């Protein structure tokens, strides 16, 4: 593990794990009635929320059946991944694949053999798409401009999903590609702790949103890969948000939640994000938030919380 935690810090992790777990289990699941032949809903990734306790529920199969069907479709590369509001965010495709991969890893001992095989065969084409995207990216020599923040957030999530896929399918090339991507993000990190270089023409809330998306992916990668260099960059990025941004002005979704819980100095921001989710989404948390909460809970449990 990356750090040796005091009893107080571990208890704080356990408290947050209980809060997040309760939020996951009190919320209902989204529906997908508005999908079309050219779109798929990112909220299908709530399969991670349904399997976080290692249980195969009746809700699992409807969530992934269309993803399995689309894996063999020639239109897979052009498919748009959208949310309930029909927004298409650059990070949605890798977020969806990541959530599905994590569910695959959590459930592999409990899925029926035929279902396990279906999942395994179908996930690979989705992961291949991420590899193609990430491998063909032209990276700036030095800093990453905030004007293309959606693209860099997508790359961070591509890398996180491929790291998990590499572990699941024993593909060192995917693990190496992920390590290289997060290495680039760390090397381009600003003195302020921001991952992106912003100019006066960059809209602050959009910049902060992309920063939180990158922070979330980097923190999950750091704890799973036990990468101290990326963990240190995550701490610096968390301090940046503590000192210079207003995350709740950028999003009501808990992007970066685990990273902010991880550093005791940024715990107030984590509480602010959780409060925002509860306040803005009483009774029915949106699908993306459910996925991010589930990922936060997964990371907290890696520390024994």
Q: Which domains does the chain have, with CATH numbers?
A: 7-302 (1.50.10.10)
What does the alpha-carbon distance between residue 160 and residue 31 come to, in Å, rounded to a whole number? 26
CA atoms within 13 A on the CB side of 276: 19
Cβ pair 41, 92 in contact under 8 A: no
Comparing CA positions, the residue from 298, 260, 285 lying closest to residue 23 is 285
Tokens representing residue 143 in the block: 């800093």
What does the alpha-carbon distance between residue 240 and residue 110 come to, in Å, rounded to a whole number? 42
Quote the pLDDT of residue 20.
Answer: 94
β-bridge partners, 41: 82
- Give the largest CA-CA distance in the chain: 55
Per-residue pLDDT of the chain (305 residues; tens, 9 = 90+): 565 566 777 888 999 999 999 988 888 777 777 889 899 999 999 999 988 887 667 667 788 999 999 999 999 999 999 999 999 999 999 999 999 999 999 988 788 888 889 999 999 999 999 999 999 999 998 899 999 999 999 999 999 999 999 999 999 999 999 999 999 999 999 999 999 999 999 999 999 999 999 999 999 999 999 999 999 999 999 999 999 888 878 888 999 999 999 998 899 999 989 988 887 665 678 999 999 999 999 999 999 86
What does the alpha-carbon distance between residue 163 and residue 182 come to, in Å, rounded to a whole number? 11
Quote the pLDDT of residue 284.
Answer: 77
Helices 172-187 + 149-169 axis angle, to 10: 150
- Strand segments, DSSP code E, in the chain are 39-41, 80-82
Backbone angles phi, psi at 197, to 5 degrees: -95, 110
pTM above 0.75, yes or no: yes
The H or E element containing residue 106 is helix 92-107
CA atoms within 13 A on the CB side of 262: 32
What does the alpha-carbon distance between residue 280 and residue 173 come to, in Å, rounded to a whole number? 41
Tokens representing residue 290 in the block: 């459910």
Comparing CA positions, the residue from 105, 96, 39, 86 lying closest to residue 64 is 96
Quote the pLDDT of residue 88.
Answer: 95
- Return the number of other C-beta atoms located less than 10 Å from residue 201's C-beta: 7
Quote the pLDDT of residue 242.
Answer: 92
């Amino acid at each position: 593990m990356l750090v040796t935690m005091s009893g107080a810090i571990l208890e704080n992790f356990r408290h947050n794990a209980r809060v997040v777990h309760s939020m996951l289990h009190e919320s209902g699941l989204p529906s997908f009635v508005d999908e079309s032949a050219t779109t798929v809903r990112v909220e299908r990734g709530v399969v991670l929320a349904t399997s976080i306790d290692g249980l195969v529920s009746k809700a699992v199969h409807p969530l992934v059946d269309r993803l399995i069907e689309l894996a063999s479709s020639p239109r897979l590369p052009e498919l748009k991944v959208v949310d309930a509001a029909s927004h298409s965010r650059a990070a949605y495709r890798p977020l969806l694949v990541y959530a599905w991969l994590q569910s695959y890893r959590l459930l592999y001992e409990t899925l029926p053999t035929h279902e396990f095989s279906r999942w395994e065969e179908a996930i690979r084409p989705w992961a291949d798409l991420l590899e193609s995207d990430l491998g063909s990216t032209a990276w700036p020599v030095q800093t990453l401009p905030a004007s293309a923040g959606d693209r860099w957030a997508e790359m961070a999530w591509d890398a996180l999903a491929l790291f998990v896929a590499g572990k699941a399918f024993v593909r060192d090339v995917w693990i190496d590609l992920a390590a290289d991507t997060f290495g680039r993000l760390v090397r381009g990190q600003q003195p302020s702790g921001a991952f992106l270089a912003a100019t006066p023409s960059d809209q602050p809330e959009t910049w902060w949103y992309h920063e939180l998306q990158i922070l979330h992916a980097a923190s999950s990668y750091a704890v799973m890969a036990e990468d101290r260099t990326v963990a240190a960059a995550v701490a610096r990025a968390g301090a940046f948000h503590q000192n210079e941004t207003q995350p709740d002005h950028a999003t009501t979704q808990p992007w970066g939640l685990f990273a902010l819980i991880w550093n005791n100095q940024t715990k107030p921001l984590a509480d602010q994000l959780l409060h925002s989710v509860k306040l803005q989404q009483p009774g029915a948390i949106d699908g993306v938030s459910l996925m991010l909460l589930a990922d936060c809970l997964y990371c907290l449990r890696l520390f024994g919380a």
